[in-house]
């Protein structure tokens, strides 16, 4: 009976996560808000910067929030499914309310990042450093971001956060006394520490370049779930550094 309940719980939880992730991707693919990036200064509301208004900022924030959910929920699924399983085994009751609290806390962390990313986009746009595709137009800035992301892949903070994300059972059992919201919040913070620099690559390849967005999302998923994901992280770091150095070289000889 317990095994049947666990299978049902996993199916319901996975379906909900899949629906949320697909809804976020659907929002992104529909382009809602993205076409507003080049909104004229005469748009309704008081301008916050050339081409920016309060409604425009809200649309960009919604875009970033949807993008974070689309990119991060798949990589968080193993942790969320394991939490639901342990919750059922410990309490022998439906784990959906506790799992929803866990997920809500995780989302809170990434909503905070979405606000920060929107503010960064606003400032870069104000400085005329972004194209209509929300990609960096300054080669030196793009090279610096690429090298910084590559170096971060080798730092102790990155290794610590990635280790927690790759070891869901150890993480949950160690932090179970924090409660569903506390565990979800802590996991979200570790997940943010693992991936926030990678998200800056969106400003290099273009936030509106959906192939680039999908590529970063797939890499994050692989880094967290593959058997040798930590080595994939190191390899990507070396590649990012090499790419940044190449951009600097190409600019110097141009």
For the cut 70, the answer to whether the pLDDT of residue 32 exceeds it is: no
For the cut 60, the answer to whether the pLDDT of residue 43 exceeds it is: no
Query: How many angstroms separate the CA atoms of 58 and 209, rounded?
Result: 20
pTM score, two decimals?
0.86
For the cut 60, the answer to whether the pLDDT of residue 20 exceeds it is: yes
Query: How many angstroms separate the CA atoms of 24 and 65, rounded?
Result: 9
Condensed to tens digits (0 to 9), the pLDDT of residues 168-216 reads 888 787 877 888 899 999 999 999 999 999 999 999 998 888 899 999 9
Dihedral of CA atoms 219, 157, 25, 137 in degrees, nearest 10, equals: -80
Taking 3-state DSSP, the helix, strand and coil percentages for the chain, each rounded to the nearest 5, stand at 80, 5, 15
- Residue numbers of the domain that contains 208: 2-34+43-253
What's the confidence (pLDDT) of residue 64?
95
Q: Which residue has the higher pLDDT, 135 or 31?
A: 135
Tally of residues, the chain: 254
The mean pLDDT of the chain is 86
Distance of CA 107 to the CA centre of its chain: 10
Q: Which residue has the higher pLDDT, 141 or 86?
A: 141
Total domains in the chain come to 1
What's the confidence (pLDDT) of residue 147?
96
Percent of the chain with pLDDT over 70: 90
What's the confidence (pLDDT) of residue 171?
79
Query: How many angstroms separate the CA atoms of 28 and 26, rounded?
Result: 5
- The candidate with the shortest Cα–Cα distance to 146, out of 212, 225, 62, is 212
CB-based contact 228:160 (threshold 8 Å): no
What's the confidence (pLDDT) of residue 68?
95
Stretch 25-50: mean pLDDT, rounded? 56
- Those residues whose C-beta lies under 8 Å from the C-beta of residue 214, and which sit 6 or more positions away, are none
- For 210-250, what is the HEC assignment? HHHHHHHHHHHHHHHHCCCHHHHHHHHHHHHHHHHHHHHHH
Query: How many angstroms separate the CA atoms of 13 and 18, rounded?
Result: 9
What's the confidence (pLDDT) of residue 161?
94
Question: Alpha carbon of 233 to those of 3, 109, 126, 154, 176: distances in Å?
Answer: 36, 22, 33, 8, 28
């Amino acid at each position: 009976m317990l095994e049947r309940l666990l299978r049902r719980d996993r199916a319901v939880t996975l379906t909900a996560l899949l629906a949320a992730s697909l809804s976020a991707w659907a929002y992104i693919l529909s382009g809602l808000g993205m076409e507003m990036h080049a909104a004229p200064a005469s748009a309704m509301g008081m301008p916050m910067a050339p081409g920016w208004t309060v409604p425009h900022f809200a649309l960009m924030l919604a875009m970033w929030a949807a993008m974070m959910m689309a990119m991060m929920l798949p990589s968080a699924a193993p942790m969320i499914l394991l939490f639901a399983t342990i919750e059922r085994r410990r309490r022998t009751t439906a784990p959906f309310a506790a799992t929803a609290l866990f997920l809500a806390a995780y989302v809170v962390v990434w909503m905070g990042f979405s606000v920060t990313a929107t503010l960064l986009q606003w400032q870069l746009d104000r400085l005329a450093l972004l194209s209509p595709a929300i990609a960096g137009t300054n080669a030196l800035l793009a090279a610096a971001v690429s090298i910084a992301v590559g170096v971060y892949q080798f730092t102790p903070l990155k290794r610590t956060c990635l280790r927690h994300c790759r070891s869901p059972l150890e993480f949950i059992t160690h932090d179970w006394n924090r409660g569903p919201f506390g565990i979800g919040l802590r996991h979200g913070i570790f997940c943010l520490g693992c991936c926030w620099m990678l998200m800056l690559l969106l400003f290099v390849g273009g936030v509106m370049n959906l192939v680039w967005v999908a590529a970063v999302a797939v890499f994050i998923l692989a880094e967290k779930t593959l058997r040798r994901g930590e080595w994939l992280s190191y390899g990507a770091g070396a590649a990012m550094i090499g790419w940044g150095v190449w951009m600097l070289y190409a600019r110097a000889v141009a």
